[in-house]
Amino acid sequence: MCWKLDRKVVKRMRNKTKQDDPNAPDQMTATEKKAVSSLSGIYALRMFGLFMILPVFSLYAQELEDVTPFLIGIAIGAYGLTQAAFQLPFGMMSDRIGRKPVIAMGLVIFAIGSVVAAMSDSIYGVIIGRALQGSGAIAAAIMAMTADLTREEHRVRAMASIGMSIGFSFAIALVAGPALDRWIGVDGLFWLTAVLAIAAIFIIYVRVPTPTTMRFHRDAQPVPQQFKTVLRDPELLRLDFGIFVLHMALTATFVVLPIALRDHAGLATEHHWWIYFPIMVIAMVVMVPFVVVAEKRRRMKQILTGAVFILAISELLLLISYDTTYAIFLSLGLFFIAFNVLEATLPSMIVKVAPPDIKGTAMGVYSSCQFLGAFVGGAAGGYIYGEFGIGAVFAFAAAALVAWGVVTASMRNPRYLGSFMVRVGEVDERRARQLVEEMTAVQGVAEAVVIPEDGVAYLKVDNNAVDKVALMRFAVQSEA
């Protein structure tokens, strides 16, 4: 009995030592885990506030002054335009004055926008509030801070955690919006959003560790000089077009879907969550095997193309049967299964397609296209609804998705390679060239780029074959 207890104690001590060892390549330290979980929470709180009004705003907006269908769409998508415009300047500002002050400032702007929207009796006031919400564009600063607080070999895992938090916040917000609307109304949702932003400021200063050093990370931040390269890459452009269409279709659909549910299918607003809740649970479960097949069985292009056409089919089903609750349930079920699959696989495709040293820029352009898609979807959905009716919005979304499906079908199969980074320290050009040769000779390494001024080797590797122990022999001790 004593021997067993001692053995458990020794095991716990070994695990703790391994977790706290900054040179253990396969384990995040406690500080890294705390940083990633806290920053994921901040991002999720902000996005939860943005998404919560999506399933109810079209109904609430009909009671505002000066309202038109087009202005409803502008109000829903306004955050996307300002988010796309300000995320790069906020990221660059965080390089100059620090991550925490910029993130806190963005959250304050977001909270002010929420208050403006909550207090507005006019659609124009809500549009201003939504635009202010998007102006607090902290995404790039959060990604940069995540990079500051994690070692290179854990960066992909850290970014994936943030991406998962956004997905969960969207799913919860879609259910919570209609449920909370019954108790506090949409203006109450805006007030709640402001409170969540203040809570996020508390987290950034109390829970998030302060980086010991702050530096530029080209794997997580855009490099302006690389924009031309990214915008000339046809494979990356196909993926950028895809995320643009995906969020355009989503936002356009939700300009009219709440109206269809209430006025045509006869489902009271407070019961809309009855539709969204089971759909989101089912979609999150069903997406998993498709993502596994895409990655493990190397069927990413086929899964991607199939999901796009399923989205188009779901929009066509909405077009012909948006006056029936059961048909809407079936259509939305298909929509969100495909949507979740695409939200999970598209960023992975960016990582596979982009050269190793321009991943940050490629992801920055991709993110901007996503937010622009939300704005265009809101504006187009509102305009089409006002001029041609609900069915025309679903037809518009279906046509855009078919066009994306055609574009996706022409893509090349991606190389099934992941990203890996090694901090090699200060090196000159000659040593950088030597490191490239030595690293590409390591089993499982397909491509290596060493940037002397960064002191980092950016690699494309086969995760099933790469010898990470051999790669870590090139590493210097990380400061993260």
> Domain of 65: which CATH number?
1.20.1250.20
For residue 95, give its domain range: 30-209
Q: Based on the domain organization, do 85 and 193 belong to the same domain?
A: yes
Q: Based on the domain organization, do 248 and 392 belong to the same domain?
A: yes
User: Exposure string (b/e) for 452-473, b if CB count within 10 Å is 16 or more?
Assistant: bebbbbbbbbeeeebebeebee
pLDDT given at position 374? 97
Does residue 139 lie in a domain region?
yes
Q: Based on the domain organization, do 343 and 406 belong to the same domain?
A: yes
Phi, psi of 423 (to 5 degrees): -80, 115
Last residue of a domain, one of 209, 240, 268: 209
Q: Based on the domain organization, do 58 and 189 belong to the same domain?
A: yes
CB 73 within 8 A of CB 378: yes
Q: Based on the domain organization, do 443 and 408 belong to the same domain?
A: no
Give the CATH number for residue 453.
Answer: 3.30.70.100
pLDDT given at position 401? 98
Which tokens in the block code for residue 262? Answer: 């209430």
Counted domains in the chain: 3
pLDDT, tens only, 63-82? 999 999 999 999 999 999 99
pLDDT of 119 > 60? The answer is yes
Does residue 279 lie in a domain region?
yes
Q: What is the mean pLDDT of the chain?
A: 90
Does residue 240 lie in a domain region?
yes
Taking residues 78-87, what's their average pLDDT? 94
Q: Based on the domain organization, do 294 and 367 belong to the same domain?
A: yes
pLDDT given at position 214? 82
pLDDT, tens only, 340-365? 999 999 998 998 899 888 989 999 99
Q: Based on the domain organization, do 181 and 266 belong to the same domain?
A: no
Does residue 6 lie in a domain region?
no
**Residues 393, 381: Cα–Cα separation, whole Å:** 6
Of 95-104, 149-158, 163-172, 250-259, the range with the lowest mean pLDDT is 149-158
Q: Based on the domain organization, do 399 and 468 belong to the same domain?
A: no
pLDDT of 155 > 90? The answer is no
Does residue 12 lie in a domain region?
no
Phi, psi of 451 (to 5 degrees): -100, 105
Q: Based on the domain organization, do 411 and 427 belong to the same domain?
A: no
pLDDT of 120 > 50? The answer is yes
pLDDT given at position 476? 84
pLDDT of 478 > 80? The answer is no
Taking residues 163-184, what's their average pLDDT? 91
pLDDT of 319 > 70? The answer is yes
Phi, psi of 181 (to 5 degrees): -55, -35
Q: Based on the domain organization, do 181 and 165 belong to the same domain?
A: yes
With bands split at pLDDT 50, 70 and 90, how would you rate the model's confidence at 477?
A: low
pLDDT given at position 4? 36
Q: Based on the domain organization, do 348 and 468 belong to the same domain?
A: no
pLDDT given at position 154? 83
Does residue 4 lie in a domain region?
no
pLDDT, tens only, 219-257? 888 888 999 999 999 999 999 999 999 999 999 999 999
Last residue of a domain, one of 395, 416, 437: 416
Torsion angle of C-alpha atoms 426, 93, 167, 251, degrees rounded to 10: -140
Taking residues 52-68, what's their average pLDDT? 94
Q: Based on the domain organization, do 406 and 441 belong to the same domain?
A: no
Last residue of a domain, one of 209, 243, 261: 209
pLDDT given at position 164? 87
Taking residues 139-162, what's their average pLDDT? 88
With bands split at pLDDT 50, 70 and 90, how would you rate the model's confidence at 261?
A: very high
Q: Select the highest-mean-pLDDT range: 43-47, 55-59, 147-151.
A: 55-59
pLDDT of 17 > 60? The answer is no
pLDDT, tens only, 269-295? 989 999 999 999 999 999 999 999 998
pLDDT given at position 8? 43
Does residue 5 lie in a domain region?
no
pLDDT of 21 > 50? The answer is no
Does residue 219 lie in a domain region?
no
pLDDT of 11 > 50? The answer is no
